[in-house]
Chain A
């Protein structure tokens, strides 16, 4: 087994991690925004239910949620999950949407009431106030916690291994099974490089938004 073969085989696995990462972001950010609106709703029963849901998701291990999504449809409804990647994606999207929703809520609630009122007295609609005035200020404020959470997500994608998604750690374990232990440690390099790139990207975005203070 040459170094090159191992590198290639791990890269194939890491591609799955990247796919899970990107698709999770794509769906969990909009879903997180919807959940944050739910938890801020003035209609108490709705905000209560949403908060209970967020508590359940944040209060249980992601690994357990992976098991639930993967096994429960088969056990209870006799429709086994065939697509392991889909099961992982569903669990990740729900889990991360809940974490994101709390970050969004914190960001939205931190914007002063005066910004809304200034928009109101100028005759703007609620939608205009949110998208034209509030949103960018929220984005700026939630940048640091979001980059934190997103970097955590990169590494969490390897949890999909527990339902046998063919990601990088599973690939490395195959080598370990054949008595080759170093590929397992080598996987760390993939995560380090990916997270390094993300850190540079977030630094750039934060700088882009530094032209105003809010």
Chain B
């Protein structure tokens, strides 16, 4: 049993899942009388007690509006908020705090770039390049922009295994390409794309690149300077933080040229009916009172991630994924969807003659949470010729025993539903 490697080593070498699980209160409950097995981590991660506590602590001890108040509480809240910007900068190794914009999540981050950088740099006949495995949130904002500007959305194709065709990518980078917007790690296939190479190739032709890192940041360290990406977006709730907060990183020289996103308080320098001048980066992009509490809790989520042995966590997650893939692929009539050799901790599959929803609901009766359907990547399903998949996505707090429950559950579902 592989699970032995999780507990058989001395403390400083071990990755102690049982100990880590104590930090996640939501995991210690039953669903329909059965122990809850949470395999829907790609949709949202669970939160450690420290993050949950930070939210109530903020409202109990610190709540005030920030940056304008001269009083004690406002200064305390402002300080806590500003500290997180520096923390995020360090977390993704950005060159400057000014390159960190707080948004609601990855979706808003991408929409912000489309509405500002996109509007500014795309004209009729220009092209935006995305990949065949994008989440809808990295397709629709570009479609809206292309419609408005009479521009063209181009798509990098992928193989049956769910791997991007790099030769096609290179030939799609044209003199009309104004931006490449590509997912780092696919939510429905688990594929990890060679974004660093893709960025280098685009930059050779002077084309900027946005990276959708929603599925990546919780699993592996991201270094925006090493990647050399122009923009990178991610969500707090997929990385142990609260919902409603996310980050858009942008290179300073882009951000300084971009027009504001929304108008309101905080983003202005001075307002008169004749002429309004705008605040500097990043405040120019953060109209209105920000999501102070959730930003502060996001900072605590980053602390949590950085306090753990992240490479051991990743190894554990990949171990779960490989074990699940191996055992599932032994089941007659079951087909894994997304079989890239470079994969994240996601297992997507279909079963001959069975509806994914029926299987997912059966697993639910056993207390196992998976996701079924197209996972907001309908074009991926069209490409694979299937209506949807059953997806189990893992986090470091999952166990081999839970994976075994999944395998048993899938076998029982087939017996019942065939």
Q: Do A and B come from one complex?
A: no
